[in-house]
A = this chain, B = another copy of it.
Amino acid sequence: MPLVCLTDFEVQAREQLSKTSWDFINGGADEGITREDNIAAFKKIRLRPRYLRDVSEVDTRTTILGEEISAPIGISPTGFHTIACPDGEMSTARAAQAAGVCYITSTFASCSFEDIVAAAPGGLRWFQLYVQSDQQLNKQLVQRVESLGFKALVVTVDAPVVGNRRHDIRNGLDLKRNLMLTDLRSPGERNSIPSLQTSAPSPYFSWNDLSWFQSLTRLPIILKGILTKEDAELAVKHNVQGIVVSNHGGRQLDEVPSSIDALTEVVTAVNGKLEVYLDGGVRTGNDVLKALALGAKCVFLGRPILWGLACKGEHGVRDVLNILKNELHTSMALTGCRSIAEINRNLIQFSRL
């Protein structure tokens, strides 16, 4: 069957993966309510199209933290890409470079950061950090990725403890004890998590610790997982450079707001003082357009990238990114937006149904 949209990849990926791997990728925390809200909330928003504009030229290029990207679409950090295909994060990195988008590499990458960089030396990459309880380890990680050319530090804030993922417990995956069980390893994996010397994220990490990180590196710092105006205001106050509005794909605390519902609150609070991104629930070009119209500078994709990897490796990720870029192009043309700058709040109408 041809893969014509991102959910086609979802269906096929499910067939390719073991149940344990599928559940690990697909599942949410507790009852999976936020995981489903992420999708459903986008579907409640209607677009107000403007016509009779010359849309013979539509340009999807934009920038994030000053770097040009081919479209306001990127790759959110997810761990253990070798679950989905043998080359793991190296494939992901190559596809991201080819598509001209940013790839946020996870602390829990299953390839070494050096291999990932070597696979796609020209790509734009940010590094996602799970802050470790061991400060020395934090320092080593940050300096290592800075020297490897990663352009920003994306600090995850929504995982001081691991969320309650019922399916993983049922499948015998105890993420609180052992982050890389045999079942999640593909035969061809080249790196093992222990070599990363990481452990569970630190529950101690707080606003006061941010300045230590800022003293440690010249990389811009982005906080991933902020969902409230209160935390957004604190982020501005602590001089970070960006926020990813995210609920960790519904995998940490269930029943928090969907990403797109939380976006407006955060965008309003930061009032342009830093860049706001979003992940969670983006599946179509319309979703990208809606997030941008509500104030996001760029959106990031988690599970769809793993679907692409599982279906066709590097080429699958390229297909996923290209489908989404093409859909965004069509959505912009059909709403009368010729450039990213023309996308604004007037495009949005909340559904009356």
A residues adjacent to B (C-beta < 8 A): 1-2, 4-5, 30-31, 33, 37, 40-41, 43-56, 157-158, 160-161, 163-164, 166, 169-170, 203-207, 210, 223, 225-228, 230-231, 234, 252-258, 261, 284-286, 326-327, 330-331, 333-335, 346, 349, 351-353
Q: A228-B48, A228-B49, A253-B334 are in contact. Are A170 and B1 (CB under 8 A)?
A: yes
- Partner among B170, B225, B230, B353 whose Cβ is within 8 Å of the Cβ of A41: B353
Say yes or no: B228 contacts A50, CB within 8 Å.
yes
- Please, which residues of chain B bring their CB within 8 A of the CB of A49? 158, 227-228, 253, 256
A4–chain B nearest beta-carbon distance, Å: 5
Contact B160 A333 (CB under 8 A): yes
CB distance from A9 to the nearest CB of B (A): 13
Number of identical monomers bound together in the oligomeric complex: 4
> By the criterion CB–CB under 8 Å, are B55 and A161 in contact?
yes
Chain B residues whose C-beta falls within 8 Å of the C-beta of A210 in the assembled complex? 52
* Known contacts A5-B30, A166-B4, A353-B44; A51/B158 CB under 8 A: yes
Contacts of A254 in B (CB 8 A): 284, 286
- Nearest Cβ on chain B to A38's Cβ, whole angstroms: 11
